[in-house]
Every structure is written in C-alpha cells, then in structure tokens.
Chains A and B, each alone.
Chain A
Amino acid sequence: MGLLERIGLRGGEKAEPLKPGFYSYVAPPSHPFNYRLHLRIEPGGDGLLVVNASTVLHLNQTATEYAYHFVTLTPREKVAEQIAKRYRVGKQRADQDYADFANKIQALIETPDLDPVTYLGFGRHAPYTDTMSAPYRLDCALTYKLPKGAPKAAVPTKRVAKELSTAQWKEVIDKAREVGIPHIVFTGGEPTLRSDLAELLMHAEDHGLVTGLITDGRKLADTRYLKTLLDAGLDHAMIVLQPSKEETWDSLASFAYWKEVLNDDIFIAAHLTLTKQNTKQANALIDRLAQSGISAISLSANELALNNKLQAARDHAAARDLPLVWDLPVPYSALNPVNLELEEGKGSHPVGAGHAWLYIEPDGDVLPEQGINKKLGNMLKDDWGKIWGKAKKQK
C-alpha cells in the first residue's frame, strides 16, 4: 500500500452499496434449530432476508450489510471494521448495532411464536407491496400427468404437449438461483410421477434453495420412496388430502414415521378443500389430521358460500394447534381463510400471485400462477428481465 493510500488519499474507492446478489446459509445438522437463511440484495442496496422460506424480512441498506455478514459468517470484529470503513459510523456503534441485529434474527429463529413487531421492534411491511427484483418462490409444475383414477376435477388444463427434460429443469433451477429466488416448489399434475424428482430436489438443495413438494401423497405412502426424497433434501411437503383415499393418510403416516426415525424437523402440511359434501366431516377430518402429526394445515373452499364453514374449520384447526398456511401453491383458489379475511383478497386469485410467486408449466412457460393463463415468457428461452418485466406490468 502506498503512502497516499495509507493516508487515505488514493486507492480507496468511494463506498457503494453492496452489489445485488443472493446468499444463503443452512444451519448445520448439529444445530438445535434447523433453519435456513436466504439473503437477496436488491439493486440499490436494500435487501430481503427470508427465514426458513416463510418469514420475509425487508431490510434497509445498513441492515442488509449486517445480514450479509451474518449469512456469510463474517467474524464479529471484522463486521464492525468493515461497516466503519464503509459508513460514517464508529466501530463501537457498528459492533453494537450488529450484535443487536444478530440477536434479533436469532430470537426470530429460536422463538417462532414471538411477535417480532411487539417484542423485537421490527416494523411491519404489508405483503407483496414492494417492487422486487424477483419473486420469493417459483412453483414448478414438473408434469401435468396424473395417476390413474385421479378425479377429473384435479386434471389440469392441458396447455402443454411436452415436458422439460431433467437437464432443462436443472437449468430452470439454476436460473432461479441466479436471479435470487430462494424457494422452489415442485408441483403438477402429480410431480411424484417424474422419476427425476429426487435428482431435481438434490440439485436445488445443492444450490442452497428451499424445496417443497405438492402431491396427492399416494406415492409417499411408500416409506422407501419418501426416504429418497428426504435424503435428496426435501424441506417441506403438502399433501392434497383426498379423505376417502387411504393412501393419502398413509403418506402422512409415512412422514410421521420418518420424522420420528430421523428425528428430523420435516415440515409437512395437509390441504383440505371444503365442499358442501364434506363440511359436516370437516372437524373430524381436522381432528384426524391433528393426530397424524402434521405441522400445519391449508384450507380452502370450492365456493364462496362456504366462507363461514371455512372460518369455523380454521378456528377448529387453530384450537387443535394446527397452524394455517395459506400462501403455498395449494390452494390455488383465492377462497382460503386469510385471503377472504383481507380486503385486498377479494379477487379471484390470491394476493401475491404473479408477484410473490410465479408458476412454471411443464414446458417452461411462465404464468403468474396456475389458472392465470397469461404467458409471461418461457423460462429457458426468454431473458429473465423480460419475463419479470411483464409480470410486474400485470401486477
């Protein structure tokens, strides 16, 4: 380092916000809390920190820098040094702010029921209101094939004639990683009909992405098959419940089995669609689901008239200590308890569709979500900027 550099007159570039990028951290298996962090640095320096693919934190530029160091495991003393070099702040203050930031994130991870606004001093950010550089999640319909005997209602519109190959899906996953999408959900059709499902899960896992699976669960009743998916890195699954099919229940049992055997924190949710025919059994079904050891429940109704029943079912699930998930690919319907409760959720599609998540058809075409057949482009053929630009226009 030359004299001028030493005295700070030359060589020091003007500090700029961190460059856009995507960083992830996976807690080691020995850690008492199984968690993942994904940090996406947006153009301009602000960031998104996604905890366990479900809690989205919006960070200002300074918090983004601290998150970057937290995710990349920078030694604490180096963090203060770096921050003090880049910002007009003393090392002591930077160190204190970093410790405070890190403690808050840890508290959020380790105390899931803590209200972060009340107890950690977080602000609240209305969901999906920001202009983002990429969605939070990509729902990949690997195939539109369904198992034999599947109900007609479950057959998706046949919009595509061909399916992407394994290599092409891997390319989609690579692209998702590249643009900073932290979460991939494999859906269908019935994604377990793809023989390369485990391979794709592993590929996403290798990229540090959170992976999920939406399935009717029949194939997962086979514990050996389920084990291959878990070994490949499957983080969560949602079983679309078909109450009359015992295989569905068996799949839940299969999960419960591995959960106990592997002592793993597998997140398993079940989705129940309320219809006029099953509302009377809803509470009993929820009770049975609660006993099956699932982590959460997803509810929707097939018609708006069942809203009260849906809310009652939601209350019943809450009383059975079953948390509700409502923003996974199922329900595709906007008729889910939370969406119906929100003023902005009265539309025909869930809030966040085409913005917080996108949907990839089996041939790589991108839709805002399943059921909104407005093609935004093709994930393999088109530039991401063009696809995302179109998505934002449609928001």
Chain B
Amino acid sequence: MKLKIFSFVLLLALLLAPARVAQAQTYAFTVLSEIVNVYWESDGTLTLDYEIVFSNADYADPIDYVDIGLPNDTYSTFNTTASIDGQPINDIFPSPYVETGVALGLGGSAIPPGQIGTLRMSTSGIRDVLYTDNLDDTYASAVFSPNYFGSEFVVGATALTVIYHLPPGVTPAEPRWHPAPSGFGEQPITGIDPQARITYTWRNMNASASEFYLFGASFPKIYVPAGTILEPNFAQRYGFDPAILIPILFCSFIILFFVFIIWLSIVSNRKRRMQYLPPKIAIEGHGIKRGLTAPEAGILLEQPMDKIMTMILFSVIKKGAAQVAKEEPLELALTSPLPDGLRDYEVEFLNAFKEGEAARRRRALQEMMVGLVKGVANKMRGFSKGETLEFYRKITDEAWEQVKSADTPKVQSKVYEENIEWTMLDPNYEEETQETFSGRPVYAPIWWGRYSPSSGRSIPSAPSRSTGGGRVSLPTLPGADFAASVVGGAQRFAGGVIGNLSDFTGGVTKVTNPPPPPSRSSGRSYSGGGSSCACACAGCACACAGGGR
C-alpha cells in the first residue's frame, strides 16, 4: 500500500499515483479498515504505523504485492518493517510503481480470493516533513494524507482512522488542528497516548479507500529542532496543488504563447505601418489681391447690391460724371462728355441711367453687376480670397478709424469724403455713420450738392477744388441730416431703381453663379457629386471670386 504524507499544502498529492496493490493482475478488494498512527517525533522526523485490513474479492487474484507511497525519499527500507496477518514481510524494496514509496512482497502470505488479511507496516526516520505554519510562524505545521488506492481496485466503504501523536512535551493548550476533510468530524478527538503525547484522532466509518484525505495540525516550533522545519515554497504557501499547478501553468503557457504571438503580430504590424497624418492639400497661389476698388471689394465681401450701387453712385458723383437730378425716384443727370478715369462698370452704371424705362434700366444695372462680379472673379484668379478679404476688412476698419480720429469737423469731413466708399463696406456702416455725425455740424463735401440736390446748394458739375489759390467755402449741414442722407442712398436704390432687392440679386447670381452641371457619370462620385459655388446666396451680391488658381 501506498502512504502519502503531505506537507502543509498538496504539493505531492498529484505527483504520486494512487497506491497499487499489485501489478498486471485482476484485483478487487475492500479495505475494511485502515488505522494510521502518525507520530511527529521530537527530532522532527515522522514515524508511521499502518494497520490495513483487506478483504479480497472472490473473483479476484490474490493480493501478492502492496505498494505504499511515502512522503519523500528520506525514508529507508531498513527502517521499515511489515507483516501480514502476523507473518513478517521480508520482501521490502523501493516501489517500482509509485514515485516515492516501498513495495511489500507478501510472498506465501498473499491474501487469497475471498479471504481477509491484515497488513501492518511501520516506518520511521522520515525527515523534512514539517513546515512553518503560514498563519503563525512560531508554529510548525504537520500535514498528512493517508494512503489511498486506485479506485478501479477498491469496492465498498472503509473505516478510516488517523491518529496524530504530537511531539512529546506539547501541552494540551498549544496545538491547533487544521480543518478536517469532508465526512470527518469538524474537530478531532483529543487525547493522550501512553507516552503522554497529545493525540488528535479523526475517524470516518464510511470513508473511501480510494479517496484523497488531508489532515493537519500545528504545534509550537520549540518542540522540534529548528533545522528540521522547512519554509513552505510559493505553491505551498498559497495553497497551489503542484499537480494542478503544472497543467495550469502549461495551459497558461499555451495561452500566453498565443497571446504573445497576437501581441507580437499587432506590434509588428503596427511597427510596419506608417504614422497616419490627415491628408492635407495646399493650392499654389498668390496671397492678397491688391488694387481692387471699393465696389469690387464689396463684391468680394458679399455686400448687398443696393449698397454696392450706392458706392458706385458716390464714386461717379465724386468724379463729376453725374449728379442727382431727382431723388425719388432716383434720376441722374450725366456729364457730357464723361470725364476720364472712369471704370468700365462706372460707365455701364451711368449708361444704365440713360435708359428711360425702369425695367430696361434695371436690366442694364443687372448686366453691369454681372460684369462687375465676373470681373472681380477674374481678377481674383491666382490670389487667395481669404487673405484678400482680410486685407479689405482691415482697410474698412482703418477708414473708420481715420474718420473718427480726425481733430476737427472739417478734417473729419475731408477724411470721410476720401474714404466714404470704404466706410460703406463696414457691415455696421449705417449705425457708425449716424453715431459719428449726429449731433454736430458736418462740412459737406464739395460734391454733396450733386448727390443731394435737396440740400439747396447748386454746385458745378465738375470738381473744382483746385481754384488757383481761391478758398472754397464748404457748407455745413446738421450731422443727423447728413448721416440720414448717406444712409438713405442705398434705400433710394432699393426702392426706386432696382425694385425688389432679392429679385434683382437673383437676376445677377443666376448668371454669375449658375447651378452646377448635372452630376458626372464616370462612377467616381463619392458623396453626391461636386459642390456648387458655396457663396451662391440669393440675398446678397456675392461672387465666387477667387482664388488660388
């Protein structure tokens, strides 16, 4: 039979195969009882006394050999004695079938089929069987598992008794028992043996001789030599069963190997790939388009068309090309011949006013605006619209700044006259104009009478500021009237000349920003085809002017 002693943990439990009665025979038996006296000696060694009663089955072969496992290889066959039914067993040798243990050859005392036999075995001097208790390092832990047999050989229940004999000197209050295996009482029966040693007895009348049971107790280290107590290894300390641990480790290794491969694959793949930066496209082109006139900049800044035409009106009046003949509805009296230096769109603007009929004049002004928008678009080719817009916004801001920072009303009026079209590019120019000029007298520009005949002053139609040293006396106007007149210019256009602003603008943008052509059929469309001109708004005089190409 095979005896196993376990240390604090189950390290050896699965390393050792279940005990075997014999080999290559048909074995079947019942272990009627098994009593194990486990002596924890004062020198730190272990002595075992087994008494096992076999009942061999009728149909089985005789039990001729019994292998018993032992806790480690410190045992000696010289320290081992055995008997069967009182007959000494002399054939004791290291077991060829269990890793650590002895084989007992029963020889002529083999237990025949249908017979009962009682085996006794005693062995002593087994070292390295004590460990430091993991709960209290002043204690030694003594753990033991009695022998068990292969389940294929064993039938029936076994009365199993395990009796611990603690080292001499241990007092009743000192030792501690470990939790008992299932089927045994929660607490062992305590007692004192004839040598006055404390005993713990576990008993189960319906135990299985093929099952693994583990018993344990701890006692103060002082009762055994210090050198005989081992420190538990990692597995022992944390309760791993090495026999379980190895397959777990093996499986873990396999899993880790695959995880490692996957990880390596990901890392390798990632390393192999390049860093991704979002695609960036830059178009080759120039920056700011300088030299645009204020109405042209107004087109770029998407100013309303009535405002742009008011700017043109101011421009042609300043240049002496026309004067307002009638304010409501707006009529212009053109200078003949027209002065030099007029822009194409200014000439077209003036020509439109030659048309007597309102609808034809309106169409002519639309054509003028179409030309102006296309002209700006052409001029912007190869330049950046964004940078150009920024540039002209800055000019507008600076124009107002110059007007506001003028020292005197006279200087202010002069600066305003020079910059009037640029100030109109300010989206808040109406408020700015009224705020700047209201509540103070304004020196009207010399051409003011040509713009606002209702101011009651007749001024020659050609500019005459250079008078050969003579002084020009400029009229003053109440600031509020002046501001209202400037601001009202655009309203006059909207109301009296171009009619509905949206319709007028629509007539222009349908030419300058026609709807995009039908989507191409080459199969390379990705999200519904190309975009149309993004500034093709109906309510403003915007142009898809520019840029970069």
Q: Mark A57-93, 1 if CB is under 8 A from B, else 0.
A: 1111111001000100100100000010111110000
Given A8-B269, A9-B268, A122-B548, A55-B283 contact (CB < 8 Å): yes
Q: How far is the CB of B509 from chain A (nearest CB, A)?
A: 12
Given A123-B281, A126-B286, A13-B272 contact (CB < 8 Å): yes
- Which of B279, B379, B547 counts the most chain A CB atoms within 10 A? B279
Tell me, in angstroms, the Cα distance from A290 to B542 when the chains sit together.
24
Tell me, in angstroms, the Cα distance from A70 to B387 when the chains sit together.
30
Find A56's partner among B283, B385, B531, B535 (CB 8 Å cutoff).
Answer: B283
Tell me, in angstroms, the Cα distance from A58 to B282 when the chains sit together.
5
B532 contacts partner chain A, Cβ-Cβ < 8 Å: yes
Tell me, in angstroms, the Cα distance from A127 to B383 when the chains sit together.
11
Q: Mark B254-295, 1 if CB is under 8 A from A, else 0.
A: 000000011011101111111111111111111101110000
- Which of B280, B290, B534 counts the most chain A CB atoms within 10 A? B280
Which of the segments B75-83, B177-185, B351-359, B513-521 contacts the partner chain?
A: B513-521
B282 touches A125 (CB 8 A): yes
Contact partners of A15 in chain B: CB under 8 A: 272-274
B283 touches A123 (CB 8 A): yes
Find B286's partner among A55, A112, A342 (CB 8 Å cutoff).
Answer: A342
Contact partners of A16 in chain B: CB under 8 A: 274
Q: For residue A6, which residue of chain B has the nearest CB?
A: B265
Which of the segments A140-148, A156-164, A309-317 contacts the partner chain?
A: A309-317
Tell me, in angstroms, the Cα distance from A106 to B516 when the chains sit together.
12
B384 touches A31 (CB 8 A): no
A12 contacts partner chain B, Cβ-Cβ < 8 Å: yes
Which of the segments A113-121, A177-185, A215-223 contacts the partner chain?
A: A113-121
Q: Mark B514-549, 1 if CB is under 8 A from A, else 0.
A: 001110111011110111111100000000111111
A110 touches B520 (CB 8 A): yes
Given A7-B261, A112-B549, A58-B284 contact (CB < 8 Å): yes
A253 contacts partner chain B, Cβ-Cβ < 8 Å: no
Tell me, in angstroms, the Cα distance from A14 to B268 when the chains sit together.
9
A62 touches B278 (CB 8 A): yes
Q: How far is the CB of B391 from chain A (nearest CB, A)?
A: 13
Tell me, in angstroms, the Cα distance from A341 to B281 when the chains sit together.
26
Q: How far is the CB of A247 from chain B (nearest CB, A)?
A: 28
Contact partners of B371 in chain A: CB under 8 A: 319-321
**In the complex, how many residues of chain B place their beta carbon closer than 8 angstroms to a beta carbon of chain A?**
69
Tell me, in angstroms, the Cα distance from A83 to B277 when the chains sit together.
11
Find A319's partner among B268, B281, B345, B525 (CB 8 Å cutoff).
Answer: B345
Tell me, in angstroms, the Cα distance from A155 to B475 when the chains sit together.
63
Which secondary structure characterizes the binding site on chain B? loop
Contact partners of B549 in chain A: CB under 8 A: 54-55, 112, 116
B375 contacts partner chain A, Cβ-Cβ < 8 Å: yes
A151 contacts partner chain B, Cβ-Cβ < 8 Å: no
Contact partners of A315 in chain B: CB under 8 A: 343-344, 375, 379
Contact partners of B343 in chain A: CB under 8 A: 315, 319
Q: How far is the CB of A324 from chain B (nearest CB, A)?
A: 7
A12 touches B269 (CB 8 A): yes
Which of the segments A94-102, A201-209, A256-264 contacts the partner chain?
A: A94-102
Find A117's partner among B524, B525, B548 (CB 8 Å cutoff).
Answer: B548
A338 touches B345 (CB 8 A): no
B378 contacts partner chain A, Cβ-Cβ < 8 Å: yes
Given A118-B386, A123-B283, A126-B287, A32-B520 contact (CB < 8 Å): yes
Find A87's partner among B266, B273, B544, B545 (CB 8 Å cutoff).
Answer: B273
Q: Tally of A-B residue pairs with Cβ under 8 A?
A: 229
A88 touches B532 (CB 8 A): no
Find A104's partner among B265, B281, B381, B533 (CB 8 Å cutoff).
Answer: B281
Tell me, in angstroms, the Cα distance from A107 to B281 when the chains sit together.
13
Find A103's partner among B379, B386, B527, B548 (CB 8 Å cutoff).
Answer: B527
Find B525's partner among A85, A106, A124, A314 (CB 8 Å cutoff).
Answer: A106
Contact partners of B529 in chain A: CB under 8 A: 106, 110
Q: For residue B267, which residue of chain A has the nearest CB?
A: A8
Tell me, in angstroms, the Cα distance from A326 to B546 when the chains sit together.
16
- Which of B268, B289, B290 counts the most chain A CB atoms within 10 A? B268
- Which of A59, A99, A106 counts the most chain B CB atoms within 10 A? A106
Contact partners of A33 in chain B: CB under 8 A: 517, 520
Tell me, in angstroms, the Cα distance from A14 to B526 when the chains sit together.
31
Q: How far is the CB of B327 from chain A (nearest CB, A)?
A: 29
Contact partners of A85 in chain B: CB under 8 A: 273
B377 contacts partner chain A, Cβ-Cβ < 8 Å: yes
A14 touches B271 (CB 8 A): yes
Contact partners of A83 in chain B: CB under 8 A: 276
Q: Mark B362-388, 1 if CB is under 8 A from A, else 0.
A: 000000000110111111111011110
Q: How far is the CB of A50 from chain B (nearest CB, A)?
A: 9
Q: For residue A54, which residue of chain B has the nearest CB?
A: B549
A275-322 contacts to B, CB under 8 A, are: 311, 314-322
Q: How far is the CB of B286 from chain A (nearest CB, A)?
A: 6
Tell me, in angstroms, the Cα distance from A342 to B524 when the chains sit together.
38
Interchain Cβ contacts under 8 Å between A and B, 17 examples: A59-B279, A59-B280, A63-B281, A86-B273, A87-B273, A100-B279, A106-B529, A114-B533, A116-B281, A116-B547, A124-B384, A127-B286, A315-B343, A319-B345, A319-B371, A319-B372, A342-B286
The chain A residues found within 8 Å of chain B, CB to CB, are 7-9, 12-17, 27-28, 30-33, 49, 54-63, 66, 70, 73, 76, 83, 85-89, 97-104, 106-107, 109-120, 122-128, 311, 314-324, 326, 338, 341-342
- Across the A-B interface, the 6 shortest Cβ-Cβ residue pairs: A63-B279, A123-B282, A115-B547, A115-B546, A110-B530, A89-B276
